[in-house]
Amino acid sequence: MAEKTKPPVVEAPQPVNKPSEEHGGIADSLRRVLLASIGVAVVTRDELKEFIDKMVERGEIAEQEGKKLYTELMEKRKKKTAEAQDAAGNQMRDMLDRMDVPTKADIDVLSEKITALSKKVDELKKAQG
């Protein structure tokens, strides 16, 4: 006799989240992804605003969430831009130090010394003449 095989067990589909929960999860995930990966310092304000407005129009996020996301991204962009400027300035100073390029302060000190020496030379010329 042939053995009877058991029919496969089929699980019932999981209930779909309510729209408010779904949008909250999507918005939160989207916020994290955007903050982490879009290169906030590169995106212009207009591009960002337009992108968020389109998401609101499509119902992917609520208008309030869009405003919050925009504010967060702009703050992050501002912070990242400042960090990049600081890093670039530090790298430039390090490079100039390695090349032994005099700083403005070094040049100012030398200028003062030259001025003082020029005055002494002029005084010596007057005393001899």
Contact (CB, 8 A) for 59 and 94: no
Arithmetic mean of pLDDT, 11-32 = 50
Contact (CB, 8 A) for 60 and 33: no
Question: Residue 79: pLDDT above 80?
Answer: yes
Tell me how far apart the alpha carbons of residues 69 and 47 are, in angstroms, rounded to a whole number: 14
Arithmetic mean of pLDDT, 108-116 = 97
Q: Which of 65, 70, 62 is nearest to 35 (CA)?
A: 70
Arithmetic mean of pLDDT, 30-40 = 58
Contact (CB, 8 A) for 40 and 71: no
Contact (CB, 8 A) for 31 and 72: yes
For the chain, give every domain's residue range. Answer: 19-98, 103-129
Q: Which is more confident, 44 or 10?
A: 44
Termini Cα distance of the chain: 135
Tell me how far apart the alpha carbons of residues 119 and 75 are, in angstroms, rounded to a whole number: 55
Q: Please tell me the pTM assigned to this model.
A: 0.46
CB atoms within 10 A of CB 127: 7
Residue 34 confidence (pLDDT): 61
Confidence band of 80 (pLDDT split at 50, 70, 90): confident
Reduce the secondary structure of 23-69 to three states and give it as a string. HHHHHHHHHHHHHHHCCCCCCCHHHHHHHHHHHHHCCCCCHHHHHHH
Residue 109 confidence (pLDDT): 97
Mean pLDDT of the chain: 76
